[in-house]
């Protein structure tokens, strides 16, 4: 693989010009081409653009980022255990990606709308989605689980990359809302909004990601594409999916692309805040590539020992997002032992709540499925429901007899 790849110059922003990376950086340590503020050693560095954003984080906000990351990791452990105990059909773990999710989610504003893929449990936490409700899909009692209108956090999408187009369309809707508001004299009454579309390095190979970036660029839509490059699309490594850093692809569409250390929550927060401001100000889309790692399996049905070396996992564990922020908070005197003890206790309480609540999620009635196929009345659905009711009624006597027999000890 050569050290220099042909590329074009993007002159839209000084930020992007600094991020030229060569192909060697795809899997290696791309320090020279990646925004990093908080290193694995827990020491805070500087960046000419993004330090200004990081400086806005108060000690309380930094402690909050740590608490969120710890909470979602504890949740992840609990959900994995629930799956192993047969309480969930499947689980999609996020361990290793806490900084990418908490940092980006906390950088969003309530008016922003977020389209996740299916691993964004940390982003869900930052949007106040009830994590027990989030398990409804994985427990098999719903294909969703929460009302996106309550939190501006969309439902999970299992078909890879489909949601990136929805995100761009939604962003085009925001643009139109602004124009309608201007036409009716209502401009400025609502805060400007943007959209974040999450996807992974594996999904970046899907055609919908390409089309979403074409549309976003064509219409200058206020959307931030947030790619978590966790290095593995189940068993396929990222170097099979791309020959250049994924952030470089933005150049081809004509908007900025930034690679950020996805295990550095401060840098992720800063970069995402910059990108969202860029989008909200009408300057168009941004692609963020959060360079991170899926420490565990793709899902609980996966076995990463079959396709990757444990040494690789160990190397990434040394860059752990929680450990580095803990070092920083401790070294700077921003958090004490009591704080970390409380975070741990809060995590255990969250885990207990999630376990208890998930257990108690009621199995749905299939009548609810009939009710939601269409928004308006539909004769076929009505006919099939009527048949089902009649069919079910035929068992009513049997169920009663079975219940009486059970009571009688038969």
Partner 1 sequence: MTTMTIAKAINEGLRATLAANPKSLLMGEDIGPLGGVYRVTDGLIGEFGPDRVVDTPLAESGIIGTAIGLALRGYSPVCEIQFDGFVFPGFNQITTQLAKIHSRSSGNLSVPVVIRIPYGGGIGSIEHHSESPEALFAHTAGLRIITPSNPHDAYWMIQQAVECKDPVIIFEPKRRYWLKGDVDVQGPGPSEDPFKAHVLREGTDATVVAYGPLVPVALAAANAAEEDGRSLEVIDLRSISPIDFDTVTASVRKTGRLIVAHEAPTFGGVGGEIAARISERAFHSLEAPVIRVGGFHMPYPVAKVEEDYLPDIDRILEALDRALSY
Q: Which of 12, 40, 140, 173 binds partner 1 (CB under 8 A)?
A: 173
End-to-end, the C-alpha distance of the chain in Å comes to 74
307 is annotated as an active-site residue: yes
**Cα atoms in the 13 Å half-sphere on the side-chain side of 198:** 28
Residue 208 sits in the site that holds partner 1 (CB under 8 A): yes
- Clarify whether 121 is annotated catalytic: no
Burial class (CB in 10 A: 0-12, 13-18, 19+), 40: middle
Task: Fill in the DSSP letter of residue 307.
Answer: T
Choice from 20, 130, 211, 346 touching partner 1 (CB under 8 A):
211
Stretch that binds partner 1, among 19-27, 170-178, 323-331, 337-345 (CB under 8 A): 170-178
Q: Does 365 bind partner 1 (CB under 8 A)?
A: no
The whole-angstrom separation of Cα 342 and Cα 325 is: 16
Minimum CB separation from partner 1 for residue 116, in Å?
13
In angstroms, what is the minimal distance from the CB of 370 to partner 1?
A: 10
Provide, rounded to whole angstroms, the least separation between the CB of residue 197 and partner 1: 10
Binding segment for partner 1 among 7-15, 28-36, 162-170, 330-338 (CB under 8 A)?
A: 162-170
Output b/e per residue, 82-105; b: 16+ Cβ within 10 A: bbeeebbeebbbbbbbbbbbbbbb
> Which of 44, 77, 81, 214 is the binder for partner 1 (CB under 8 A)?
214
**Is 332 or 383 the residue whose CB approaches partner 1 more closely?**
383
Binding residue (CB under 8 A) for partner 1 from 77, 162, 244, 323: 162
Give me 118's structure tokens. Answer: 């299916």
Tell me if residue 237 falls in helix, strand or coil: strand
Q: Active site includes 294? A: yes
Q: Which residues make Cβ contacts (< 8 Å) with residue 143, sequence separation at least 6?
A: 137, 155
User: Is position 125 an interface residue for partner 1 (rule: CB under 8 A)?
Assistant: no
- The footprint of partner 1 on residues 216-235 (CB under 8 A) is 218
How many angstroms separate the Cα of 324 from the Cα of each of 62, 101, 160, 241?
A: 12, 16, 32, 29
DSSP 31: G
The residue among 111 and 235 lying less far from partner 1, judged by its C-beta, is 111
User: Considering 154, 298, 324, 355, which one is annotated as catalytic?
Assistant: 298
The catalytic site residues sit at: 294, 298, 307
């Amino acid at each position: 693989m050569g050290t220099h790849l042909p590329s074009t110059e993007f002159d839209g922003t000084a930020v992007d010009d600094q991020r030229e990376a060569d192909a060697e950086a795809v899997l290696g340590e791309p320090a020279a081409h990646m925004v990093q503020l908080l290193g694995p050693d827990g020491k805070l560095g500087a960046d000419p653009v993004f330090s200004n954003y990081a400086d806005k984080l108060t000690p309380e906000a930094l402690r909050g980022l740590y608490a969120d990351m710890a909470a979602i990791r504890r949740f992840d452990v609990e959900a994995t255990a629930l799956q192993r105990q047969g309480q969930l059909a499947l689980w999609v773990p996020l361990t290793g990606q806490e900084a990418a999710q908490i940092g980006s989610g906390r950088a969003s504003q309530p008016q922003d709308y977020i389209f996740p893929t299916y691993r964004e449990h940390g982003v869900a936490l930052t949007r106040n989605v009830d994590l027990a409700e989030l398990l409804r899909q994985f427990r098999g009692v719903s294909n969703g689980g929460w009302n996106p209108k309550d939190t501006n956090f969309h439902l999970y999408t299992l078909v890879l990359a489909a949601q990136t187009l929805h995100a761009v369309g939604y962003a085009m809707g925001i643009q139109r809302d602004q124009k309608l508001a201007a036409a009716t004299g209502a401009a400025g009454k609502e805060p400007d909004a943007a959209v974040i579309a999450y996807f992974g390095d594996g999904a970046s190979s899907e055609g919908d990601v390409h089309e979403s970036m074409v549309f976003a660029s064509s219409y200058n839509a206020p959307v931030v594409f947030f790619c978590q490059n966790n290095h593995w699309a189940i068993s396929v490594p990222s170097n099979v999916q791309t020959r250049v850093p994924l952030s470089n692809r933005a150049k081809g569409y004509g908007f900025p692309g930034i690679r950020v250390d996805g295990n550095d929550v401060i840098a992720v927060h800063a970069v995402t805040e910059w990108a969202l401001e860029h989008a909200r100000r009408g300057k168009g889309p941004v692609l963020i590539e959060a360079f991170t790692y899926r420490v565990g399996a793709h899902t609980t049905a996966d076995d990463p020992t079959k396709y990757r070396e444990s040494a690789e996992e160990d190397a990434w564990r040394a860059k752990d997002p929680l450990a580095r922020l803990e070092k920083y908070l401790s070294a700077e005197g921003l958090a004490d032992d009591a704080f970390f003890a409380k975070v741990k206790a809060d995590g255990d309480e969250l885990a207990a709540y999630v376990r208890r609540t998930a257990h108690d999620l009621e199995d749905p009635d299939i009548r609810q499925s009939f009710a939601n196929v269409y928004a308006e009345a539909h004769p076929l659905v009505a006919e099939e429901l009527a048949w089902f009711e009649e069919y079910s009624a035929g068992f009513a006597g049997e169920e009663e007899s079975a219940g009486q027999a059970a009571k009688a000890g038969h």
